[in-house]
Amino acid sequence: MSATLEEGGAAAAGGAALPARPPFLEILSVGKQFGSFVALKDVSLSIAEGEFVSFVGPSGCGKTTLLRAIAGLDPATTGVIRQAGREITGLPPAARDFGIVFQSYALFPNLTVARNVAYGLRGPAWTRLRIAARVDELIRLVGLAEHATKYPAQLSGGQQQRVALARALAPEPGLLLLDEPLSALDAIVRLHLRQEIRALQRRLGVTTIMVTHDQEEAMGVSDRIVVMSRGRVEQVGTPEEVYRRPASAFVAGFVGRSAMFEAVVDASPGVLRAHGHVLLADAARGMLYGTQVNAFVRPEEVRLGAAAVAMPGAIRMEVVHLEFLGATCRVALESGRLRLEADATAEQLRKAGALPGAKVPVAVPADAVTLFPADV
């Protein structure tokens, strides 16, 4: 974890998250247009060898379009893409070096698991013996040794996913592309498989790009994540950096859980006025008096009860309702038009007397408020 933190710091210092290693995949000012619709606009990105990078964003943000441009399935219309120093922007897919796993897996239903995995092993270098050995190795690697002679329809969703992974990895591609590989699976299998994919990727050291709409999944497995919105890159960084220091209001709202409220920068430094309340925010220090801002506060940062009273600037808010999440409860808080959310353990709630309808002291640490100027 400390390693990623360090990397995150370095990347933040660079501003554009350029890793120290020479880039394996370079994407320079790539654009893609479908008729008059701009699907990608001026996307630039570098990915180092062996990195696991995720593209996240809501549907229609261009993440799959970017992946397909890298694969050459729908080439980019402008810009340059280089892989291992070679320009590949306009090359057909077969002239590139990648393996891909689709959301639907696209397994060949009439071929057995073994023959699916062997599908790309062609040409003079691949003798019958070598193919058999490679297929055997991969099927073992993904833990499907006893299913080699079965057909895809006879496997579970998670097993099919592994076959697709083995098939993509069989010809030893330099780049592995995963297009929403887990979204067709149920929650438990998903969690398990994403860890498995990550472990496999670490072991093989293959540079990997995963597209997903699930930011939690992306943060869980990636070295770095690329947050996209409306065809643009909003932020590139380690999961921690993106979570702690979102580069835009979009990222702050999309990644992780936040309460958002409108506020105005007050005359005294580091003070916000929001719906009649006064809040302390370090981020407001450099801002001009009267600036309209959108403020984001993560629920785990909000303090309740005695912990809040001990802090400067505590306010009283009404508990609207409680959502039980297991280890913690999410408390919806309201005071006038100001709304916040707080995560607290059952113990903390009991101490603070936070029952629906009750008024409790609430405080937000001054360094936990993220601000972005409001669009005027």
Partner 1 sequence: MSDATLGERLAVPGPGRGRPAGAPVRIRASLDERLMQAGLWLALAFMLAALALPMAFLLVRAFQDAEGGFVGLANFATYVTTPSLVASVWNSVWVAGVTTLAVVPLAFGYAYALTRSCMPFKAVFRAVMLLPILAPSLLPALALIYLFGNQGMLRGLLFGENIYGPWGIIAAQVFYCFPSAAIILSVALATADARLYEAAEALKASRARIFASVTLPGVRYGLVSAAVVVFTLVVTDFGIPKVIGGQFQVLATDVYKQVVGLQNFNMGAVVGMVLLLPALGAFALQRWAEGKRAATLTGRAVPYVPRPRRARDLPLLLLCLGVASALLGIVGVAAWGSLIRFWPYNLSLTLDNYEFGRFDVAGWGSFVTSARMAVWAATIGVVLVFVTAWLLERAPRATALSRWLRNAVGLLATAPLAIPGLVLGLAYILFFNHPANPLGLFYGTLAILVLNSIVHFYTVAHLTATTAIRQLDPEFESVGASLKVPAWLTFGRVTLPICLPALLEIWVYLFVNAMTTVSAVIFLYGPDTKPASVAVVHMDEAGQSSAAAAMACVLLAATTTAKLAQLAVAALTDRATQAWRRR
Q: Pick from 163, 165, 233, 354 the residue near partner 1 by CB under 8 A.
A: 233
Among the listed ranges 228-236, 268-276, 277-285, 310-318, the one in contact with partner 1 (CB under 8 A) is 228-236
Span of 58-66, 92-100, 351-359, 366-374 interacting with partner 1 by CB under 8 A: 92-100
* 284 contributes a contact to partner 1 by CB under 8 A: no
Residue 126 sits in the site that holds partner 1 (CB under 8 A):
no
Indicate which single residue of 94, 188, 327, 376 sits in contact with partner 1 (rule: CB under 8 A).
94
Q: Does 87 bind partner 1 (CB under 8 A)?
A: yes
Helix (H, G, I), strand (E, B) or coil at 372: strand
Q: Does position 42 bind partner 1 by CB under 8 A?
A: yes
C-beta separation of 271 from 315 below 8 A: no
Count residues near partner 1 (CB under 8 A): 60
Q: What is the per-residue DSSP string for 87-143?
A: E-TT--GGGS--EEE-TT----TTS-HHHHHGGG--STT--HHHHHHHHHHHHHHTT
Q: Which of 39, 67, 100, 302 contacts partner 1 by CB under 8 A?
A: 100
Helices (H), the chain: 2-14, 63-71, 113-117, 128-141, 157-169, 187-204, 215-221, 239-244, 249-254, 305-309, 346-352
| In contact, 233 and 54? CB cutoff 8 Å | no
Whole-number Å distance between alpha carbons of 208 and 53: 6
DSSP 252: H
| One of 39, 46, 65, 207 touching partner 1 (CB under 8 A) | 46
Q: Which residues contact 143 (CB under 8 A, 6 or more apart)?
A: 162
Question: In this chain, which of 11, 27, 178, 319 binds partner 1, going by CB under 8 A?
Answer: 27
183 near partner 1, rule: CB under 8 A: no
Choices 3-11, 119-127, 255-263, 343-351 (CB under 8 A): range interacting with partner 1: 119-127
Residues that bind partner 1 (CB under 8 A): 15-16, 18, 26-29, 31, 41-46, 71-80, 87, 89-95, 98-100, 102, 104, 106, 108-111, 119-120, 122, 151-154, 167-168, 170-171, 173, 232-236, 247
